[in-house]
Structures are given as C-alpha cells and as structure tokens.
Structure 1
Amino acid sequence: MKKSVPKLRVAILALACCLCLLLNTNNSDLYGRRYQITRTVNHFFVSITPNYKTLNLTVKHPETLRRQQIVEDEELDVSCAGRYVYMYHLPSKFNDDVIKNCSTLIKWFDMCPSMANSGLGPKVVDYTNRVLTGTGSWYATNQFLLEVIFRERMKHYECLTNDSSLASAIYVPFYAGFDVSRYLWDTTVTVRDRLGEELAKWLSERPEWMRLYGRDHFLVSGRIAWDFRRVSDEDSGWGNKLMRLPELANTTMLSIEATAWENDIAIPYPTYFHPTSESEVTRWQRKVKKTKRRFLFSFVGAPRPTMEESVRGEIIRQCLASQGRCNFLNCSETKDCENPVKVMEVFQDSVFCLQPQGDSATRRSIFDSILAGCIPVFFHPASAYNQYTWYFPEDHTKYSVYIPEEYLRNRTVSIEESLVKVNQKKIREMREEVVRLIPKIIYKKPRPVRPVKDAFEIAVGRIIERVAKVKKEIEEGRDPQAEFSQNRDLSKLR
C-alpha cells in the first residue's frame, strides 16, 4: 500500500497540471496547442518520476475527434493509416461568404430554405405514413447543395487530420458551384473568373500544393463540370474557366456530372434520404424491395420542346398512350415534382423509371428512382454508364435497361413492348441489384455512422487511391499526366 500512494499523488498532480493548462487555453486554440500540453505533461512526469515512461496524453476537444493527427487503434475501430485527409482552412470568401446572400445564388430560385440543416434542407414529413419511413432522416434536399453537404461530412470524417504531412489527399472546401451560379447570367467573364483566380493564387503559394503541384488536391461542386471549363474569353461564353487555370490543371473535381477530362469525376446527386444508422438503411431497403408496384413504368419530368435532340416528347407520347401502364408526373404543370413524398411515391409505384437526358446528360431523378428501388431505363450512355463508374456496376444490364435515343427519334421501338419482354426472374434480379446500390448513392448525415459506406466515403476512398497511383508513378519515374486534365476520355460523352 505504501508504494501505491506516491503513484496516486503523481496522478493527482498530473491532473492538476492539465487542468491549469486547460483553464488558460481558449477553445479556439486548444487544438493547436495540444502537443505543447502533451510535452508539458510529459516533462512534468520526467521531473518527478525516477523510472518513467514518456506518456502521450492528448486533451480531447470535440474538434479533436474530427481533426485527429494521431489515431490509435484502441481509439477507433479502424486504422487511419493511408486514409488521412487534410482540409484547408480557406479564407471565408471562398465558402461561407459565397452563400451568405443565399437568395441570389441562382437567378430564379431562393436557395435560403435549402441551406437549412447544414445543406440537407427542410425536414420532410410523410403524412400518409406509407411512402417514407418515419425516421426523421428525410429532407427536401436541393441537388445544388452537394458542395455544402460534402464539406459538412468532411468535418466529421474520422481520418481528418490537421497535419498536412500525414495526408493522403488534400481537400479544398471551395464552393465552386455557388460561385459560378451567382454570376452565370448578365455578367462579364472578369466577374465570373475573379474568385477562382484568387483561389488559384492562394493555393499556388501553399507548401501543400507545391509538393505535387495540386495532384493530391480535390474539390467538390454541386453543378456539372462543364460550368467550369469555358473555352473563350467572350462574355457570351458559358460559365467560368476555373478548371482551365494552370494551378487547377492537376486538381481533381468531383461533381454531379463529369466532362471528358480525366480529372473530372462524377459522384451521385444528393437524394432526400440522409440516415444516421445502418438499421435505417436496411429498413428502407427491405421496404422498397417488398413494395408492390402498380405501374410497369413511369416518367417524372417536363417536356423540352426547345431542345431539338431531346426525346422527352416521344417518351411522354408513349407514356400517355400506354393505357394505364405508365405513370407520368408532369413537372411543367404541377408543383408535385418539388414534393419529395410525391416524387418517391411515383417511383415506388413503378417497376421501371425512364431516365432520359435532362438539361445536361445526367439528372438527379436517376438517384431518386434507385433510392425507391425502381429499375432505371437509360437512353444515352453518358447519363450514367460513362459517368458514375465509382458507384455503378460495369455490367449495366445488372441494374438497368438501355434503349438508344435514336430508336425513339425514328419511332422504331416501343418502350412498353421492350419492358414487357423483361421476364419476372430478370426483374427480381435487377431490383435486388438496384436495392444493393442504395447505400452507395446516399449521403448520410454528418455524424459517425458505420459500417455502411455511403457516396461520400466511396468518393474519399477512391480519391486516395487515385493520389496513391500518381505518387507511385512519380516514384517510378513515369509521367502522371495521363490521370489529369491534359488528357481527355471521349468515351465519357458517347
């Protein structure tokens, strides 16, 4: 007993030392001084203990869990070795200030309501109690909020580090989509390019960027990547030239739709479902798998009469002529398309969901229909097959039906007859594959949820793999440019 008393006193003195340091440390700089605290405590033990072992004591602050520099196996279920991500602390003009005036971010819409709940949007309640699950995880999420949602998730990423030397990838939390959207109309190219050029200058002066000239950097946009690759410097040109700036030439952009350039990668549009637990996801998968579907196929959308190449008019014509086998929700005549419950109800009632090109090659509806367990029908490879290669099976026949656009333009094929030919066994197999995709195409709430891998975690994992490949090529003396913007993969557009 006599030998244990000094140890107790030592422990009490150490605790007192820690408390004194904490009381004199502001919350804002606590994390930055944690190693100073650790060293002080270690030196304290060295001074009072003849036979000592250096201790690695870490003061825990809520942010420490988000920005952990040294993650020990006993503290987390998984190791962060090779999975660390460093997030720049950008000046607020590059993110928070961009969305302050949220009512002007998009010319015809007030985005302020969509900013609620860290970008997830207002909560959705299903008063019918039959379409959605009553878990409180459904939100009226706007498709353009991806960059805000991604940044919030990154703040809670278990392997986020405050030490860039440990990082396998560098995340640039620039709100690129909202920066370009607020200036898309009635502005000069000088205005549209200004903030992107300032970001490029800021990055080029960072030691992290200089290590690989941006090859380990990535950013996220809630708009299609074409908005950042303006070719001309005429004011009539569309978008800005962010991704054509030399400083960004090696940086990877994750966006809802990619271009032909190798460093543009497509990741899923946000859906309405943002669960907090694995059980929620499993319960939803079980529900949509068992749902009885009254319609053979459906289309949620609006005609595009001014787009000559669009096949939407023919799709709508065939749907209306199907004598009740197709359900058409006309977004040009009703506001039901803005109601997540109504949209999900249509998709849950359908075996197949038609997904023609939208204003661009892809559309958010693809992911809403998959979330509902509805088998997507595509009419152009660039709508999904050549885009979301990190998420969808290479064999697209496992989860979807493909009908080439030209068949509809020539009116040489009936959508209904094509879908009727798919036998029930094949439909069951395809639906099971679609249901298996659900965890991969949703964005969970920004809090630790394991072990389900969602769209965010898959994107981060693949970025880290991509950077590792580049580093290996450099070590082997090969040119890593093939992975980046100097090369184009035109198959993405076919």
Structure 2
Amino acid sequence: MRRHHAADLPPSVGGDILKATNDKLGKFDKGGGRCSRLCSLLILAATISMLARHCYDFGVAGSSATGTVARVEHGLSSSRHRTRKINPIARGKSPFSDPFISPPRDAGHTNSGKALPDPLASSVPVDTGSSVTGPDGGGEQRGEHAFARALAAANDRGDLCGDRYIYVQELPPRFNTDLLRDCGTLSPWTDKCKHTANGGFGPQLSGSQGGVLQETGWYDSDEHMLDVIFHDRIKRYECLTNDSSLAAAIFVPFYAGLDVARHLWGHNASSRDALALDMVRLVTARPEWRAMGGRDHFFVAGRTTWDFRRLGNGSTGWGSSLLRLPAVRNMTALVLEASPWNLNDAAIPYPTSFHPATDEGIFFWQDRVRGLKRQWLFSFAGAARPEDARSIASHLVEQCAASAACSLMECRKGPSNRCDSPAGVMKLFQSSTFCLQPQGDTYTRRSVFEALLAGCIPVFFHPGTAFVQYTWHLPKNHAEYSVYISEEDVRRNVSVEERLRRIRPDDVERMRGAVVGLIPAMIYSDTSSKLESTVNDAFDVAVEAVTRKVTKIRKRIVEGLPEDEKLEIYSWKYPLLGEGQKVEDSHEWDPLFASN
C-alpha cells in the first residue's frame, strides 16, 4: 500500500500553484474594471477549491494543529496479477513501519464521539451492502459484497498470496506487548519472564543435552506462550497486507491467554473480563468488522478453552467469559484445547521445545528419530491422581511400574520435577515404542506432542485427548498413527501391555512412519532467518485452515446459499464425518460427549 506524504512531493508543487494564482489575480487588478468584484471573488473561491483538492490528492502537510492529510491507495486492481513478495522482518519489529498510520484510539468512544458497541449485545452488525470497506474506513463500489475484492484475489491464480492475505488489526499495546513488559504478573507461582524471550520460545538450550537433542533449535519453552509465538510469527508472515479489503482473514493480536492467567487466582470475575470486554469494544467499532460481523476475524488464546468459558452470569466460577461473548462467538479462537460442544474455537498444537530454523533441521530430526532403537515397549510420564476418581493415571502408573517392558517417569511438583526437563522427556520417549497419553487436568496434555516429536506412537484412552481436537493437524483416521484403549477397559484392569504386544511389527512400523511424517505440522518453526520454506508447520496449517474457513463462508454468501448451520452439541463430531454420513448417525463415542 502506498501512502503519499509531504516529503514525497516535489518541493515546487504548492508554491507554483500559489504563484500562478497570485499572477492571475494581479492581472485582473491591472485590468481595472475588466472584471467586477463578484467575478474576482468567484475566481478566488475556485482557486481555493483547487488548492484543497490538490492538497488532498498529494498529501500536502497542514499546520501542526491539523497534521498531515494522506490519501490511501487500496492496492492493485483485481484484474492485475500480483507477484508474491516475501519480506522477512527482524524479530520483534512491527511489519507496519509507516509512521503516519494512526494508532487505534484507546478510549471508550469513536472519533465521531459515539459510544463504542456493547460487547454483550446479542446483535452483531454485518455490512452486506455493495461497498467495499478499505483500511481507512472508506467505501468503494467494487462488487456486490464488502469482501468482493478478497474473493477476486483468492481466484487470481497469478497471485500466490491471493487466498492467503492476512490483515493484522492494530490494537493498543496494553492488549499484547505491555503484558510482556509486565511479565512478572503473568503467574502467581512461577517467573514467566524468561519464557517471553526469543519471540515466546524462551531461553535457548545449549548443546545436545547428552546426545538427546540437536545442537540447535531447542528452547526451554513454556506451553502457555502460544499467544506470543503466534504473534511473533505472524509479523513475518509472507502474505501480510495493510489493505483489509484484500484479506482472506483478519488477525486480532490480543494475548488472551496471558491476560486471563493473571487473574485466574485471587481475582474477581470483573478483573478477568475487563481487558477482553475492552478488546471487543475496540474491534467491533472498526470498519473491518462490518464486512462479515467478525466471521473473518481470528485470535489466539493460548490456554485450554475452559479458561475462557465461565459458566453463568454470576461473578463466581473459573476463568473469563471471553468465548461466551456474543461478538466473540462469531470469531475463531485458536486454543490449546477446544470445546466439544462449541463452534467458535479450534485446537492447535501445544508448543514443544523444538523450533528449528531450517527445513534441513526438521528433516535431520525426522531421520534421527526414525532410526532410533527403542528398548522399552511403552512408557508413561505422569503422576498418579488418587484424588481424581475420573482419572485413570493411577491405574497406568501401577501397570507401568509392574511391567518390565515399561519405563515410568513420575512427575512431581517442584523444581526437581523431571517432567519439566525437555531433554529428560525426550530421552524417555525416544527410547519407547509406545507412549501412554491419558487425560491430564483436562482432555489434552502437552505430552502428546512431545511423544509425536520423539517418534513415539501415542496410546490414547479418551477421544477428547486428540481425535476430536486437532482435526486440522492430525489424520481423521486415528488408527493410522495411534492406538486407542478405552478408559473403561483400563478401569476393568485390562492389561495395556498385552494389548500393545498384539500389534504386528509391520503395523508398528507403519504407525511410526506416520508419526514421523506428522512432526512438521506439530512444531512452531523459528522463521527469523528463513526466507522461504517447503514445509508447513503448525502455524502454517492453522492459518491455512482459518483462511479456507472464511473463504468458504464468503462463497456461500455470494452464491446465495444459507449459512452452513451446525448444532453446537455435535461440534466434536462434524470433522469426523465421512461422505454421506450425517451428524445424527450413531458413533461409538456418543456416550462420552453426551452432554456439556
């Protein structure tokens, strides 16, 4: 996008016009009586009008009180082919370097003085008219719908970014970077400041840690830094645009996970909701919102969905109400664990500690874990949960401890917890053929992705741990890469070891090959020095899924088709449906998701 500033103008433009005007007025004065006073006034008015128009078009700076006037050029015509440009940006630097881009107002009112929209309102404004809204809020008659240019770009085969453009909705720093500045408040129990370094990757691990890790690409990463990792990565996304009418999706850089973590313990509901409500007021007041009422907006909330779904309207209960706000229900939230009964969130992988900077680093790691000799049939890294009647962890600890074919790493709270060591966990999983992955505090656990990274075949006991969660990143057919043993079988003391020994060696090799093939889509790469990539990582997979979702909605609107309505109580089931299957058809997991 090209913005014209006073510095771009030829120095003589304004002066030449004024000189010409004065010369003309002088001629009329010398003519004495050849033109009446009224005629002179009309000529002066026309000249002032011409000056005003010229200043608008070329961005002539006004006084300090009025600032600079700039006309925004809305990109290239959709009829022209645009070439893909990949411009890597240094870590931490904003991709929006134009100093004349006005920062968003951080106040309770819009520029017009009208109050911002109520985030608790049930109605969401949608612009379904014929104008296309650009980043400056102006409209241009370009098509039947406000997103016509974006669809045209998506169909432009000469533009490699056509269906991938992302527009970043600017927010005041208190919604993101200020939280990193105040990192000491992010957790009441541990110091999170070190984990905010390196774009959210945390401190770099030195050496190979006894031959377990590669020399480079490994970090001491915190699983709850996904907000920072995703935002830092999107700053270097190759298809950014600052023309929202071209965007396949709009990213809102709100660090929802870091914000709510500050208030989960010892704070009231008002504190937990305050920043989320402010974000909604600001975003819904922006012209970009009107195009689709937020259905083209997405953000990252780097915790499980349950931290943002406080039940009821009271002040008690766990977490914030972010994902229950009416406006946010139109947006897409990328979380570490999604709800099986809601449609406005999607699960993406937990961050592991491996963030390779090159494709070769990924390929080298895949070759390494593929060729490892594994001395243990299975292993378990976890802790018994005798106080939790729902958990089967205690049963698995007992079975693993009693088996000569199992390696057990018991996780304990405190600084001596071996499960907090990336090298320790990797060593365990690299030496095991199968890795037991029961539910954690919630359905999912980071250990799933550490096992996949180590080339260890995961054993799941509940479909909510992976099968109905990471549907963008994992195969629909779970038998390709994993083993499923029901929790009820474990509670009946069915032997996990016997079940695993029944699997034929050929099938084990096939599953391990599938697991190793999944590794690129499970990791968040370090792209700070990479100009291009042939491998799609977890970030790439998630962004592509979001843009594909938005484009599908837009095409249905253009074609006059009704919304693809889905019952939220079956949200876990929709990604599993095959050709011709209906959501009402019975499924073996129906009893496990019978109610919210």
Which interval holds the TM-score relative to the shorter structure?
0.7 to 0.9
2:462 counterpart residue number = 380
Q: Please say if residues 208 and 214 of structure 2, whose CA atoms lie closer than 8 Å, have aligned partners that are also in contact.
A: no
1:464 to 547, 560, 579: 547
2:440 to 337, 358, 371: 358
Distance 1:431 1:98, change over 3 A: same
Q: Whole-Å Cα distance in 2 between the matches of residues 99 and 303 of structure 1? A: 35
- Letter matched to residue 275 of structure 2: L
Q: Whole-Å Cα distance in 1 between the matches of residues 512 and 269 of structure 2? A: 47
Q: Please say if residues 323 and 344 of structure 2, whose CA atoms lie closer than 8 Å, have aligned partners that are also in contact.
A: no
Distance 1:62 1:153, change over 3 A: closer
- Letter matched to residue 455 of structure 1: A
Deviation at 1:166, TM superposition (A): 1.0
2:381 counterpart residue number = 300
- Letter matched to residue 459 of structure 2: V
Give me the TM-score of the superposition, normalised by structure 1.
0.83
Q: Whole-Å Cα distance in 1 between the matches of residues 436 and 557 of structure 2? A: 45
Which protein, 1 or 2, shows the higher relative CO under an 8 Å CA cutoff with sep ≥ 6? 1
Q: Whole-Å Cα distance in 2 between the matches of residues 221 and 105 of structure 1? A: 14
2:326 counterpart residue number = 246
1:150 counterpart residue number = 230
Deviation at 1:162, TM superposition (A): 1.1
Q: Whole-Å Cα distance in 2 between the matches of residues 230 and 211 of structure 1? A: 29
- Letter matched to residue 329 of structure 2: A
Deviation at 1:125, TM superposition (A): 2.5
Q: Whole-Å Cα distance in 2 between the matches of residues 357 and 61 of structure 1? A: 39
Match status 1:109 vs 2:190: yes
Tell me the percent identity.
Answer: 44
Q: Whole-Å Cα distance in 1 between the matches of residues 209 and 217 of structure 2? A: 16
Q: Please say if residues 66 and 159 of structure 1, whose CA atoms lie closer than 8 Å, have aligned partners that are also in contact.
A: no
Distance 1:62 1:327, change over 3 A: closer
Matches within 5 A, 1:71-470: 79-126=160-207, 128-134=209-215, 136-259=216-339, 260-323=341-404, 325-332=405-412, 334-411=416-493, 413-447=494-528, 448=530, 449-470=532-553
Q: Please say if residues 297 and 332 of structure 2, whose CA atoms lie closer than 8 Å, have aligned partners that are also in contact.
A: yes
Higher helix fraction: Structure 1 or Structure 2? Answer: 1
1:477 counterpart residue number = 560
- Letter matched to residue 444 of structure 1: S
Q: Whole-Å Cα distance in 2 between the matches of residues 366 and 390 of structure 1? A: 16
Q: Please say if residues 262 and 488 of structure 1, whose CA atoms lie closer than 8 Å, have aligned partners that are also in contact.
A: no
Which stretch of structure 1 is more off in the superposition, 249-258 or 108-117? 108-117
Distance 1:349 1:210, change over 3 A: same
Q: Whole-Å Cα distance in 1 between the matches of residues 503 and 176 of structure 2? A: 48
Deviation at 1:476, TM superposition (A): 2.7
Distance 1:378 1:487, change over 3 A: closer
Q: Please say if residues 457 and 482 of structure 2, whose CA atoms lie closer than 8 Å, have aligned partners that are also in contact.
A: yes
Secondary structure of 1:219's partner?
A: strand
- Letter matched to residue 535 of structure 2: V
Secondary structure of 2:217's partner?
A: coil
Q: Whole-Å Cα distance in 2 between the matches of residues 314 and 62 of structure 1? A: 50
Which stretch of structure 1 is more off in the superposition, 379-388 or 218-227? 218-227
Q: Please say if residues 269 and 364 of structure 1, whose CA atoms lie closer than 8 Å, have aligned partners that are also in contact.
A: yes
Give me the TM-score of the superposition, normalised by structure 2.
0.69
- Letter matched to residue 401 of structure 1: V
Q: Whole-Å Cα distance in 2 between the matches of residues 446 and 159 of structure 1? A: 14
Distance 1:61 1:276, change over 3 A: closer
Matches within 5 A, 1:1-80: 66=95, 79-80=160-161
Q: Whole-Å Cα distance in 1 between the matches of residues 311 and 72 of structure 2? A: 48
Q: Please say if residues 124 and 340 of structure 1, whose CA atoms lie closer than 8 Å, have aligned partners that are also in contact.
A: no
Larger Rg: 1 or 2? 2
Deviation at 1:489, TM superposition (A): 1.5
Deviation at 1:35, TM superposition (A): 7.5
Deviation at 1:128, TM superposition (A): 4.5
Q: Whole-Å Cα distance in 1 between the matches of residues 209 and 186 of structure 2? A: 34
Q: Please say if residues 94 and 235 of structure 2, whose CA atoms lie closer than 8 Å, have aligned partners that are also in contact.
A: no
1:41 counterpart residue number = none
Deviation at 1:388, TM superposition (A): 0.6
Distance 1:164 1:423, change over 3 A: same
Distance 1:34 1:432, change over 3 A: farther
Secondary structure of 2:187's partner?
A: coil
Deviation at 1:458, TM superposition (A): 0.6
Unaligned stretches of 5+ residues in structure 2: 1-7, 12-60, 62-68, 76-82, 98-134, 136-148, 575-591
Provide the aligned C-alpha RMSD in A. 3.1
- The alignment covers a number of residue pairs equal to 442
